[in-house]
Each structure stands twice: as structure tokens, then as C-alpha cells.
Amino acid sequence: MAEPIRIIRDVDGIAHVRAPSVPLAFEGQGYAAAEDRIWQMELDRRRALGTLAEVVGPPAVAVDAFHRRMGLAAHAEASLAALDGTTRAMLDAYAAGVNRWLGSDPDLPPELTALGIVPARWEAWHSIALYEVRHLAMGTSEAKLWRSGLVHRLGADAVGRLWPPTPEVLVDPEAPDAPVPVDVRPAMAVGEELLARFSLDGGGSGEHGSNNLVIGPARTATGRPILAGDPHRAIDLPNVYWQNHLTCSDPDDGFDVIGLSFPGVPGFPHFGHNAEVAWCITHGMADDQDLSVVDLRRAGDGVEHRRGGAWHRAEVRTERVVVAGVDPADVECVSTPSGPVVASHEQDGRWTGLALRWTATAGVDTTADALLPMLRARSVDDLDRAFEPWVVPVNNVLAADTSGAVAYRMRGRLAVRPESQGWTVVDGADPTTDWAGFVPDADLPRWRDPDRGFLVTSNNRITAAGPYVSHDWAHPTRARRITELLGGRDDWDVDDVGALLGDTHSGVAAVLAARIRSLSPSHPLEGRAVALLDGWDHHMDAGSPAAALCGTVRAELLSLLVAELGLTDDRLPGVAGPTLHQTMRFANARLAWWIDDPGLVGDRTLAAAVRLGVRTLELSQGPDPARWRWGAAHRARWAHPLLALRPDLAGELATPPAVELGGDNECVWATSTAPPSTDASNGQVARYVFDVGDWDRSRWVVPHGVSGDARSPHHLDQLEDWAGMRLRPMRFSAAAVDAATESVTDL
């Protein structure tokens, strides 16, 4: 008999797949992923294909229409055909594993039974579509539309002040901290003119918080590198990442890799290690999307767009979206050289659209061609070569190998265009706004074995030189804090690095606290509250009264500033994708730059925010400031993705309990808020520390558990450790896995 695929589940429910060949290894990975996360995979697949409304009804029509217009399904099929044969075989094998589980008469999770769904067969291209839909919303289109909306409301000069030059902590280990000059006004003026042709109001959503670091042998207690990090995204249910382990014992083509995967996608795209080398990423914040204002008109039985002073035929197709409970919706999909038109506006006989161009869909997406070579890599140099086909997203990759080498490299497809085009919408009628190709992989930033002994990325600016990457960097305070801590000692170990990822010091809170203390309290309770800040160490700990005051005042301050700027949260009816909504979130991301500018945040506004914050805490936590707690105001509340679309299912679907968290928007332990609430909406969706070479000493944790099925004992078994900043064993060696085995399945 042939050696079977074996799936060992350890005491945390994590699948360790062992197989005798490459195809069987990926078949086992697909099987285990479906077993743990099938309803998540099904919903993501339906989002990508634009078939969500078929099962949830009218609330999903706008989302389906957006993804139909983007053409993700057709693009995924075209990309599959362009991939290397070994990559296609990997995707086929993974799909076979998913289908093998679906064919085993499984007990489907409550989400699927509530919707009456029996998932269709998985196809290889579905993994590409799912991967892309997971990253489409991480692009820069909403940031540009938000800035454009600000210009439309406030004017270019006023908006220019909201982007001050700021001392940046660069990834480049040789670069000093220095202000990077920014003059956004010329670009903003262009956006102001264009937005006069396209009437939109409101804002967008901007969130980040990921960190990664690699420490070279000279700065660790063991003389081995340590690689660690904590990706941040929305606190989803189920978690975006899935813990698993994949071993192929083929003597001629074997690999042994453990890490975090996307359910529905083979391999370990972002975080993992084999026996010789480890890798991890943060979001590179790259400017990977353009929004163009395009003029459209009907012409006979088609549509034309204006470009270069003339009218040209646009590509048009109509797709039918099936909608549960009502008639189907026909979606007109118009495509121009500036990308597919994802929103349009007709007024006074003029038809104007917004076209979205994304690096992932501006050509075939060959990202999957990197997945198998990554598993086979034996050094940081091998990894560097493996990443050459990578397209999306642009990532900051840190890597370390057992020789002691540590490295940074950027991976992904960067569009070549002037920096001035990165601020607002651009003119689709102007051919000079086209991209001039893509930055060659060899020209992307790289650093190796820096003299200072470590590398850090925290969604911050990469370098002051090289190709244009982005205008939308995270505030440098997290990178500055990690750099300060790592540079202060040379005896780091796994436990210490794990604790560093839970650091709650906030440099922005320190600035805010100093400004609050400079004010004169207007009420005795306010005076007692402000006294909490005397001697405070600026750590946003869950049990801290001072942190409660600072975090609550920040939320109130943001609401007041948004009102002063005259912004609203209006949203285009019936439009999904990039819209000018959620002004508060983008303003929240910018607030860290504004707090120490009295011209933007005046004492009068700040004093009003303090009064409101104190009143809020008095009403919610009582009149004694010493008993206030930041954690009571700052909780992770789990939003089941189906309940937003089908609230009638609330009695059938379980959600985890809310948990108190420390941290804030700019701590290393970044737990971002979604104002006006002070609850955490984004946070660490995984935490990991790799001990490079002594792999069983590595640690990790995810927000709830490995299983997406609420009936599983491994659905919530990691929640307390995640909230309490504790890590769990990351079992890699066969001996460690066998010693912690909970169950074995042979296929």
C-alpha cells in the first residue's frame, strides 16, 4: 500500500500534515484547511466571485457588483494559465484536498447550514481569487479618495497642512532620522479640480499596526538569530491566518515548513520557517492603486470614454448577480485604460466615473509562483530569489537563516509614476497619468547583516532613496520604540522578544498627556482626573487609570476635530469598494501627527475634549478616577461577518466574549480603535517568535484558536493567551509533535 497522507492534530488542534510527495502534501493541507475553516473559505470565495448575494440577499449586492466590476474571477483564471506548471500542480493538489474533505460527508459548520449552503467543488483558480480579494481592500485607493474629499471640502492649502514633514525612522540601517520634506499642495490642487467633476463627500478607512524584527547573532543570548512579529488586521472571526505544519518526506524534493497560512491558499505566503530559514512580513504600505476620474458617454450600443482629447470605445459587459429572495441584479461593467469603473455619477447630462487600477490586476498575478520555492529555500539568498515573481501585496520581508544571516527585502509589484500622482485621484483623460511599467525586482530596497545587529519594520517609511513607494506610512513611533529597545542590549532571548511585542508605551500618548497637563482644569473632578497623568510612564496598560483618561480624551478630541474641519461620514448609496466614508478612521490614523501642532489642535479644542472625556469616564466607570481602567473602555469585540449581512441569524451563530486589551493606536502592541468608540477594532491577528535553528523553542498565538467552527474545543482555546500577551509552543520537530499528539487521521 502507498504511504498515506497523515494529519496529526496536536493539543492545540493544529494540523501537522505529513505526506510522501509534494502533491500529496498540498492535498493534505487543503483537506486540513477545509476541515478547520470551510465556511470562511466559502464566504471569501463568494466575495471574490461576486456571488455572496446569492446566499445572503440584497445587503451583499453592492459588494458583489464591485468585485464583478473588478473582474477578479476572470483575472484569477487568466493568472492561473500563466503560472509555472509546478505551481498549477500545487494549486490542483490543494483543490483536490479541499474537495476530498467536501466529499467525505462532513458535518458542516453552523454558518453554512444556517445559509443552506453546500459548498461547490474547489477549483485551482479559486485560491488565486481568494488571495486577491483578501488584499484588494488593503490598497491605497481609499486614502487617495479621502484626501481628494478633504481637498474638495477644505481646499489644497488647508489640506496640505495636515501632512507635515515628520522625522522618520527608516528601515535603512545607515540612514539617520530626519524630516522628509513633503509639499502636497500642488498635487492636492489637481485633485481639487478633478473632484469638482465628481461630487463625493466624506472619508475613508486607514489602519495599520504590524511590526516585525530580526535580531542578528551578536545581540542574542544564544548566538542564534531571532525573527519575530505581529501582523495587524481587523479582529476577524475567524482569524485571517491559520496555523499549520506541512512536511513532505520525498527524499528528492522534500520540505518541512510550519507557519501561518490563508485558509484557501496553499503554502505559507507571509510567515513561516523550514529547517534552515525563516521569513515574515509587514504590509509595505505601497501605493498600489490609482483612482482616475473618467468621462463617459453612451454611443450607440456601447460606452465611450474620453482620453487624450478624443472619445474611445470602452470595454463593456453585463453580469447578472443572483440575489436571494428578490429578482437578480444586472451589473454593467465598464473597463478603460485607467482600470474598471467601480463607481459613477450622472448629473446635468454628464456621466463621470471613478476607475480603479490595481497592480495585482494590471497584468497576470504570478505571486503563486513564489509559494513553492519559498518552502524549498535553504538560506536568505534562496528566499530572495524565490520572491522574484511576487506581485501583491508589496511587503517588508525580514528573514534569517541558520548560518546567522539576517536580511530585509521589499517584495512586490511597484508602479512607476511620479510621486505627485500618489496623493489624490488623477485625470483618466490624461495619458501622462499612465504607469510607466513596474520597478524591476533588482531595484527594490534590500539590506543584509547590518552593523547595528537588527532590522525593524513597522509599516514605516523604508528609505529616503530609491523608487517611489508610498505617501501613506504609519507614524514612526512604533518603529522608534522597537529600535530604542533592541539597541539597548545584546542578550535577547525568545521570552524577552515575546514581551517586547506586548510593549504598551505610547510616544503619542506622552505628547498628548503633556499637553493635557498644561491646561487649567475647569472642574474638581477634571483636576483629579488630570492628576492621574503626574508621573505616568505613558504605558497604555489595561489596568491603568491614566491610560483610560488619555485614550478617552483622544477619542473625544478626534470627534471635535472632525467637526471643526466640517467633515462627515456620508457614503455613496449602493456603492461598495473605495468610497469616501469612515472619515473618523482616516483622521484617527493622522491624529498622531497633529497632536503636537497647536495650530491644528488648539488648547480650547483640547480642553473641550478633556471635559468630554472625563464626563464619559464618570458615566461609564464611576466618579473615582483612581478606579478607571483603560481595559474597561478598550475591548476587542468580535463581529461575526455574517451578522452584518444577516442579523436575523444572531440566534444561530456564536461570537466570542469581549476581552479587555492594553495598547493603543501607536503602541508596539497596536490595538487600533474605530472612533468614536474606544474599543479595539484592529489588533494582532497573530504573534510569533522564531528561534532560528532551535525551532522547538519558537512560540506563537492567534486571537481565538485554529478552528473556525464554534463547536470545536479549539475555536476559543487561545483567546485568553492572546489577550494576556502569552505565547504557546510552536512544535516543529517530529518528536515534539508526536509527544503532543491529540489525534491522527490517515487519508
Q: Any idea which residues carry the catalytic annotation? A: 210
Among residues 484, 542, 522, 680, which one has the least CA distance to residue 615?
522
Among residues 167, 139, 148, 573, which one has the least CA distance to residue 356?
139
Q: How far is CA 411 from the centre of its chain?
A: 16
Q: Is-contact 184 645, C-beta < 8 A?
A: no
CA distances 425 to 310, 334, 573, Å, are 21, 18, 20
Q: Which residues contact 296 (CB under 8 A, 6 or more apart)?
A: 303, 304, 305, 306, 314, 334, 341, 344, 351, 352, 353
* Rounded-to-integer distance, Cα 471 and Cα 459, Å: 11
One-letter amino acid of 46: R
Coil, helix or strand at residue 315: strand
C-alpha triplet 687, 688, 692: angle, nearest 5°: 170
Q: Which residues pair with 684 in a beta bridge?
A: 232
CA distances 331 to 326, 580, 651, Å, are 15, 22, 33
* Rounded-to-integer distance, Cα 519 and Cα 316, Å: 60
Tally of CB atoms within 10 A around 570:
15
Q: Is-contact 469 457, C-beta < 8 A?
A: no
3-state DSSP of 539-604: ECCCCCHHHHHHHHHHHHHHHHHHHHCCCCCCCCCCCCCCCCCCHHHHHHHHHHHHCCCCCCCCHH
* Rounded-to-integer distance, Cα 210 and Cα 458, Å: 6
- Number of helices (H) and strands (E) in the chain: give both, helices first: 22, 30
Q: Is-contact 433 290, C-beta < 8 A?
A: yes
Maximum separation of any 2 CA atoms in the chain, in Å: 82
